[in-house]
Structures are given as structure tokens and as C-alpha cells.
Chains A and B, each alone.
Chain A
Amino acid sequence: NAGVTQTPKFRILKIGQSMTLQCTQDMNHNYMYWYRQDPGMGLKLIYYSVGAGITDKGEVPNGYNVSRSTTEDFPLRLELAAPSQTSVYFCASSSSRASYFGPGTRLTVT
């Protein structure tokens, strides 16, 4: 039972480059989320989805885009990377009782 998987685990980007962070869950959850975690700042919600084809903005969506074509996958797209996007990114899926997190992607933009 894999739960929530994320790729890559680490990535270094140059300013202005783009990339996609992958997230897959095998628990058949409708709800999926992308968070970023910065030191001392807690988890901030970037985007979330309540089901295939439905996405919505969270607290800090600027500079990111998402899509949800299947229940399992919820990729996060970074366009024109900026140093402010240096962070650890977590994908999560949830039932009504709990959220389950992936292992995270550590992204550095230089």
C-alpha cells in the first residue's frame, strides 16, 4: 500500500525555469492538496482539488498551477521559478477523517 507518492525528492532549478512536481495516491480519495512548508511558517496551502476536473486556490497560489485529470494524480506546475519558491512541497490526500501526506519534494531555486 503506497499511500501518497511524490517525485522528485530533490530538485534544483535556475530562476525562470519551469517544472512539474508529481503526486499520486492509491487510496481513492477525492480530496487532494498541495502545501509548501517553510522554516517556522507551518504548512501553507497552495491549491486543492475535491475531485477529478475540479481545483481551487489555497492561501498561496501565485506562481503555481495544477490540474486533476484523474482521481489518482494531482501534479503541481511551477512556471518561471523564483527564489521565493524555494521550499519543501508536500502533497496530501484526505478522507473525512484524516489527511495523508507524501514524503515531500525539496526544491531550491537559484
Chain B
Amino acid sequence: EDQVTQSPEALRLQEGESSSLNCSYTVSGLRGLFWYRQDPGKGPEFLFTLYSAGEEKEKERLKATLTKKESFLHITAPKPEDSATYLCAVQAGTGNQFYFGTGTSLTVIP
């Protein structure tokens, strides 16, 4: 069965303390891995799509990387406004579905 696992479930960082979030997956025929940010009471907001191992994408303080078995979302010098839940999802095989992890809740303390 295809699975997407995110770790840690929750992460508290001091402002400026860099760290990484992990998304591991066990799917056949990965077509894309997606990162989203979700603020409380809102829908997920698209951040990145990665398609193949070795690919990297950056946006402000966020950098997403992809290997054959996992993806990392690196947060450099985070600010309190980076506090949110970060979700990853994969699209695999010939299907049209996205499979989501349960997310990492990030809190950045001033």
C-alpha cells in the first residue's frame, strides 16, 4: 500500500534556528512530490513540486529536496510567520490521486 509519512509531528524552533522536515514515501512510479503550507482554519497553500531524485526548489527561507525515498523541507533562519503545518503529498503510478501525509506542525518562537 502506498504510504506517505511525515516527521516530526511537531517542531518548535527559536527564531533563526534552522531545521528540516522529513517526508518519506513508499510508492511505485512517483510522478511528483508536493509540499504545502496550511495555516489554521485555511486550505493548504501550494509551495513546491519535485519530480525526480536530486531535484531542489527554493522559495525565500524554504528549500525542498528529493531523493528516491524521501523529501526534506529545509527552513533556514525561520521567522514567527513561518509557523504553520507543512504537508507533503505524492502522486504516483497511472492514477490521478494525491496521497497526503499527516503534516508537521511548526512553531517558531520569537
Contact = CB atoms under 8 A, between A and B. Distances in A.
Interface of A: 4, 31, 33, 35, 40-43, 45, 48, 50, 56, 58, 90, 92, 94, 96-104
Contacts, number: 50
B45 A42 contact: no
Interface in B37-66: 41-46, 49
B42 A99 contact: no
A90 B43 contact: yes
B87 interface: yes
Contact of B45 (A33, A50, A96, A101): A101
Contact of B100 (A42, A56, A102): A42
Contact of B97 (A42, A48, A97): A48
Contacts of A31: 96
B97 A100 contact: no
Nearest to A49: B96
